[in-house]
Amino acid sequence: MPSSTSNSEVEFRRPIPALPWRGLLWATLVLTAAATAAWEIRARSLGYAPVLNDTPDLWADQREAVKPDSLVLIGDSRMLFDADLDVLEQGLGKRPIQLALVGSCAYPMLENLADDASFHGTVIASLLPGIWMAPPPAPPYKNSVRALDRYRQRTVAHRTGHHLGMFLEEHLAFMKQDDLTLEQLLKDVRVPNRAQYHAPPRLPPYFSTIERDRQTRMVAAAAQPGPLQERVKHGWIPLFTPPPMPAHTPKIVFEQIEQAFEARFGQTAAAVQKIRARGGKVVFVRFPHSGVLKEMEDKGTPREGIWTRLINETGAPAIYYSDHPELIFDCPEWSHLAAADATEFSKRLVPHLQKALGE
């Protein structure tokens, strides 16, 4: 009988083709470098510049910097754009920690600080009524939760990738996660609305710079009349007028949203009370807005509605910009202040903050 050989004894060898591997490596490197350079040149020609992305990791860096007696800024993008950290530090005697987030509901941030038993500092909160009341399923609420989750769950890999990413973002213009990734570029392909489909609103493009301490400033092109300003300005309208709920939405969904809305008043008051019980302070601020967006907000969320009830139920001091002529500024794209105006606004806001804080 001929002997048989088991499969396990057969030595498998993968043939390596005789190719000029060194030349292929160099060709790949050259092509990659050329493509990268071309994409960088293209990004800069479109008006992009090397600047940090406002990632959850960048936010988490600042949340980790909060000390028990810190001065903390929370809120939406108006706090982010309109608060000059240098001016507030000079006027209030302490460097603020910027925790405001673009397109976010600030309540989860307030709740997080209230639940931090060691925190007894000062919170200055931008209170934009409609976005403050966003329920948990809504994107503004999820934006805040995403940042908080990263703060609580950061790994060594997250931190390493974050610091490498910051280095690249500060040197390359095409590193724009909200504009120039393949996913975002595909979203720019407009699909017409249909009976069962409503295209999501187009988010504003890159129009600000942000530093490592999250000091944010509007770029000059958005502060001046032109294509960028027009795109940003008119992008707010669909964002503030979402499509109606589908007709087949179960009644219980509306009931849950209404319950979450009503609960937010008590939740906010409880969070403020927790901070104040430990010796901390909370001040609410309504930041400037202009044009058509102001008309829409004032109609949809009038001052005597959410704002007044929240201030009454929390008992916290509040500053409503239009009560003070010196705080009334024009927002070039209706929602945020230009860099120079943000500095001047912060200077004029300081005396009102000092009064509200009892200083």
pLDDT-above-70 percentage for the chain: 88
Beta bridge partners of 336: none
User: In the predicted model, is pLDDT for residue 150 greater than 90?
Assistant: yes
Cα atoms in the Cβ-side hemisphere of radius 13 Å centred on 345: 29
Domain ranges of the chain: 56-186+206-240+247-356
The Cα–Cα gap between 347 and 84 comes to 8
Cβ-based burial of 222 (10 A; exposed 0-12, middle 13-18, buried ≥19) = buried
Instruction: Please write the tens of the pLDDT for every residue from 194-222.
Output: 665 555 566 677 889 999 999 999 999 89
Percentage of residues in the chain with pLDDT exceeding 90? 65
Give, in degrees to the nearest 5, the angle at Cα 301 between 297 and 304.
125
| Tokens of residue 210, six digits | 């942000």
Q: Which residues contact 281 (CB under 8 A, 6 or more apart)?
A: 121, 122, 123, 275, 357, 358
So what's the pLDDT on residue 243? 63
Q: What is the pLDDT of residues 16-44, one digit of tens each?
A: 888 888 899 999 999 999 998 998 898 88
- The domain at 56-186+206-240+247-356 falls in which architecture? 3-Layer(aba) Sandwich (3.40)
pLDDT at 246: 65
pTM: predicted TM-score of the whole model, two decimal places? 0.85
pLDDT at residue 1 greater than cutoff 90: no
Rg (CA), the chain: 25
